Structure 1
Amino acid sequence: MFWYAERLDRHCNTTMPIFALCCAHGKVSLQLLCQTPPYLDSLLDVNGGAEAKHFRKEVRPYNGMFSMSSIGARLDRRVTNSSGPYSFVICGANYHHMGSLLPLEGQKPKFSQLYVFDTDDEVGDRLSNFSSTNLALRPRIVDGLIKMFDQTNELVKSFRRVAREVQDPANHNLRLRIAGSRENNNRQYDLPTGSDVVGLIPGDFNAEDGDRDIILNHRDEGLQRINSLNPKFHALQFPVLFPYGEDGFHLGIGYDPIHTSPSAKRKNVTEREFHAFRLQHRQSEGQSLMRGGKTLQHYCVDAFSTIEQNRLKFLRSNQKLLRAELYKGLCDAYSKGDTTGKGVGAILPETYTGGPRGQKSPKPLRRLSVPSLKINQT
């Protein structure tokens, strides 16, 4: 769904507007999300009765109860807990964390550890993590979600396999590896399989393990930061939105060759294009994501922040390609005796939206829309 003002040709009024944000004129063609599992579909149904109404109201706590990773950003509680429409606001850098497969002795299991550690009273263990809140979460729903994820989510199935393996004393150093790349990097998305999430022993590690892989130790202290380019980055954080553990964005997703010129410089889908494709209503696609309510807001903020962080990371590591030395005035600084090099930082190009050198939006531009001709005078 688009606003009329988002059409491509904004300078003429038409009853048949054309939009490109969703798929870049057909170049972005990903496999559609699977239909929502029946139990989750009943909970997300606006006409599903009192239990569904309760779940949709508390969808973020229920999603957090089954999340396999924790969010490291600082939430702005002044906005989130204020009156009026719900708004999810974070401050500072955004990142996700994961701990070891099992908690340290004497500590309570959290997040992914709940899928591995003492699953006999899993409903009580999950509810106990929310006992300090005023939320009246329902054990019946928690039990139903546990059974559903055990049947549908490939990530959960992998953790359950680890839970069975750790019962063997010979596997006291078992580790889990969540691959950070795909051997078949094409534009299509298949449902994840067991080969995408592999349990390993220490001897299996080698130099081929990439920096985007997630390696979970058997029992370790501290948390590790997950690379946002890992295909499971969002599936680990939002199991309610991605109940099958579907892959998210990763490097190497190609454009549709039918709608892409052979001479085009860019051959792969960008992170922004990936999420723009996902955040659309399609009749033949599962609607777990688009019916996520407050969790959908969390996902949108999370996706936007990772896009911006990866853009800034690219700009910082490619200052020479951006000819940043032309902006820094190094010769002038050196002639003034400033040779310490402190506080140089990184220079953002004019094309970076929101940067200090970006083009401002004057009042006539906001009122008359985007100009069709731009003239620079020097």
Structure 2
Amino acid sequence: ADDLANYRVTLNLDHRLDQRRYNVPVTTKVAAVWVEGNERRKFEPSVTIYGNNRTRKCIQPFYGYYDPLSYPLFFPRGESGWHQGLPKDKITMEAANDHHGDDPDWNSMIRVSVRDYYCYKFQMRHGIFNPILHGRRLFQQFAVDMYIKVESSRLDYVRNNQKEIRADLYQGLMDSIQARESPASAVGKRTVLPASFVGGGRNMKRRYMDAIALVQKYGKPDVFLTMTSNPKWDEITREFEPGQTPQDRPDLVVRVFRAKLEDLKKQLFEKHILGKVIAHVYVVEFQKRGTFC
């Protein structure tokens, strides 16, 4: 911008904050904390710009300059990150900002989704240096931060399209009465997650009922098979850069695990290495190793 000299960038300069949280990390894992009751809050901005006249501007995660301001080491040239109007290849910016942009089908055809954008950023390309894949713990933080952005965009869509998922059938005064909520403050409008939203209550119930239906029709399962990911697989370790560990490359670990999972499914369901499969159910779990005293 022409008036760039009139602004300054402030990063966590509030002295009331606990500065210990900004010390050098002592663990190899990064996690996100979701506070109960914050379901209706937007993603909190982490970068604030103040003008010389003390005007304040919060950088929202769906702005193109959120990523370079939050992670300057990954965007040293100030490249724009993902934004809602990012066009696909061979699509002009004018077409991406066309009035049809409110149509989900039109939007998916001409605009890059937040998920597709960060899948692209995490790709390995021979001969091209990707600073994100060399960020180690900062890469972990970036991955968690961007996943929250992806999940927030999905929740925003659900929140803004309650009529399309027929949420009126699952909310309202009758639901509150059936739940025996007598205080008036407890009666309100609920945001309902569709059954297609992975991890939601309806999605989990549907998967459970499907599994029970298979047992009811075909009987108890004959084989219980467990596959565990090993971060020391040769397919993972041989792709490391010098000095890297499995904790530094979570993208590589999950990518190899996914490939091996798909190969195992092909061996079981197409090549029938354990016999012909008439029904199956499987789930992928992420477990954290703990120590006991």
The TM-score, its normalising length taken from structure 2, stands at 0.49
The TM-score, its normalising length taken from structure 1, stands at 0.39
